[in-house]
Amino acid sequence: MKTIIIGAGPAGVTVAETLRQYDQQADIVMLSSEPYPPYSPPAMVEYFATGRPVHLWKGNDFPQRMDVDYRQGVEVVRVEPQRRTVRLAGGGEESYDQLVIAAGGRLYAAGLEENRPGVYNFKSLSAAEELLGRVRRGEAHTALIVGAGFIGVEIALLLREMGLEVTQLVRSRVMRQMLDPETSEVVLGMLRDRGIQTRRGADADAVAFVGEPRAEAVKMRSGDVVSADLLVAATGLRPNIEFLEESGIEMAWGVVVDDHLRTNLPDIYAAGDVAETLDRLTGERYVHAIFPNAVAQATVVVHNLLGWDTAYEGADNMNSLKHLGLPLMAVGQMEGEELRVRKGGVLRKIYLQDDRIAGFRLTGDVSGAGIYRSLMNKRADVRPFKQRLLEPNFGMGFIEESARSALSLS
Ligand SMILES: Cc1cc2nc3c(=O)[nH]c(=O)nc-3n(C[C@H](O)[C@H](O)[C@H](O)COP(=O)(O)OP(=O)(O)OC[C@H]3O[C@@H](n4cnc5c(N)ncnc54)[C@H](O)[C@@H]3O)c2cc1C
């Protein structure tokens, strides 16, 4: 049985590792458009900040260890399901029995032209290397980040740490999709304290890149033009699905999959940032583009490749900033009864629906996140200890007797 995996990020890598673990005979081919051995994008920030490639690489010997035919710098440009074949850039094709689409996504700047020369997409290591190469060579002293989602904020913090003058364009609020307005304000204050300039509001809306042949500035709705040595697109993430356009594979924002992560076509699966899956709590279809989801989905895909009939529990809606000293954790929904505590730079909120945790936002102090998440995923009734949830030592060494039983701990 020959399995082709498109992409060598966390999803593709986990498919290869898990499949090999269970099937020593499987013929596994991995095709990656990146000219590197497999790597993990979340580790890039730490890598560039510290110079230590800890957790970044799976190792140059990954293909040998996994007995995988790994082809780097090879881009799939078309999938032809009727012929069970993928076509490669520069000619050539490869046939498969089973296909896993793990092509991830890229960062973009909403409302602005994509793939504009001079605008960096920090999602790939090649783009990040090019961008930071300019910083190290002293060619760049200022940066403009278009967008203020989680990854945009992480990139802004990294570039500031590297000594650049950084401006961040914030359309309405920082991390609008994941944070409530009050928490957004606290985070905005933290960014400003670190010397990151932020521009927001309708008059800060970016309408076009300016400069030929390379973009060198962004034009605002107000008519202002903001220029910088580095322009970075980071409003949100767009799944890499263009190469699937004529394949007959159903797509919406990302590749649409069922609860077994199967596409609408036989023997074709999708996992990771490219896949639109169900949210664990709301049941809505969405691309929750985070590392743990990519890994969990890849594992489910392998079970189903092997015919084990495994359903996916649904994706977590979760984000955390752990690098660069800005403690922030955002999990689940922001609706329902709000429990809140604020002290200095610490703001901690838990949202309850029917006395069950639906989400939480922790800023300045992320302690207790693990137990809140477990209670949330178990849909535990927290009524007996609701008033104590935000107490400083909740879940740290001591766990309320009733919380223990809600989590079925002895
Ligand atoms: C700066 C940054 C920080 C992040 N921090 C965190 C964090 O702290 N925690 C967290 O959980 N998540 C974080 N993420 C998100 C996390 O990186 C992604 O959720 C994860 O990488 C998804 O894995 P994936 O394998 O689905 O996709 P990707 O990692 O995007 O890998 C997809 C691969 O497919 C390849 N590919 C695409 N199209 C083709 C094609 N046509 N042919 C061949 N190959 C192709 C790409 O080159 C890429 O290597 C961060 C992301 C970035 C960019």
Q: pLDDT digits over 293-318, tens only?
A: 999 999 999 999 999 999 999 999 88
Distance CA 339, CA 349 (A): 6
Q: Is residue 71 within 6 Å of ligand 1 at its C-beta?
A: no
Asked if the model's pLDDT at residue 410 lies above 50, the reply is no
pLDDT score for 55: 82
pLDDT band at 114 (very low <50, low <70, confident <90, very high): confident
Asked if the model's pLDDT at residue 203 lies above 70, the reply is no
At 283 the three-state DSSP class reads coil
Residue nearest to atom 50 of ligand 1 (CA): 42
pLDDT score for 239: 97
Q: pLDDT digits over 144-189, tens only?
A: 999 998 999 999 999 999 999 999 999 888 998 899 999 999 999 9
User: Are the C-beta atoms of 87 and 244 separated by less than 8 Å?
Assistant: no
Residue 325 Cα, ligand 1 centroid: separation in angstroms? 23
Comparing CA positions, the residue from 261, 265, 260, 259 lying closest to residue 247 is 265
pLDDT band at 400 (very low <50, low <70, confident <90, very high): low
Higher per-residue confidence, 277 vs 136: 277
- Out of 15, 17, 18, 34, mutate this one to test ligand 1's pocket (max ligand atoms within 8 Å of CB): namely 34
pLDDT score for 247: 98
Could you tell me what percent of the chain has a pLDDT over 90?
A: 72
Comparing CA positions, the residue from 410, 294, 280, 284 lying closest to residue 357 is 280
Query: What does pLDDT average to over the chain?
Result: 92
Ligand 1 atom closest to residue 128's alpha carbon, by position in its atom list: 1
- Out of 273, 274, 322, 373, mutate this one to test ligand 1's pocket (max ligand atoms within 8 Å of CB): namely 273
Residue 24 Cα, ligand 1 centroid: separation in angstroms? 27
Residue 273 Cα, ligand 1 centroid: separation in angstroms? 7
Q: Is the peptide bond before 213 cis (omega within 30 degrees of 0)?
A: yes
Comparing CA positions, the residue from 243, 252, 244 lying closest to residue 286 is 252
Residue nearest to atom 19 of ligand 1 (CA): 290
Asked if the model's pLDDT at residue 51 lies above 90, the reply is no
Residue 123 Cα, ligand 1 centroid: separation in angstroms? 6
Buried b (16+ CB within 10 A) or exposed e, 368-392: bbebbbbbbbeebebeebeeebbee
Q: Is residue 33 within 6 Å of ligand 1 at its C-beta?
A: yes
Distance CA 54, CA 42 (A): 11
Distance CA 125, CA 127 (A): 5
All residues at 6 or more sequence positions from 196 whose CB lies less than 8 Å from its CB, including other chains: 156, 157, 160, 166, 167, 168
pLDDT band at 321 (very low <50, low <70, confident <90, very high): confident
pTM: 0.92
Please give the average per-residue pLDDT across 7-23, as a whole number. 97
User: Are the C-beta atoms of 147 and 234 separated by less than 8 Å?
Assistant: yes
Q: Is residue 101 within 6 Å of ligand 1 at its C-beta?
A: no
Q: What do you get for the CA distance between the two ends of the chain, in Å?
A: 45
Asked if the model's pLDDT at residue 262 lies above 90, the reply is yes
Cβ atoms within 10 Å, residue 245: 11
> Of 26-30, 84-88, 231-235, which range is least confident?
231-235
Asked if the model's pLDDT at residue 403 lies above 80, the reply is no
User: Are the C-beta atoms of 207 and 111 separated by less than 8 Å?
Assistant: yes
At 159 the three-state DSSP class reads helix
Q: pLDDT digits over 375-397, tens only?
A: 999 999 999 889 999 988 786 55
pLDDT score for 333: 94
Q: Where are the beta strands (DSSP E) in 102-250?
A: 105-108, 119-120, 142-146, 165-170, 197-200, 206-210, 217-220, 225-227, 230-233, 236-239
Residue 12 Cα, ligand 1 centroid: separation in angstroms? 10
Cβ atoms within 10 Å, residue 49: 15
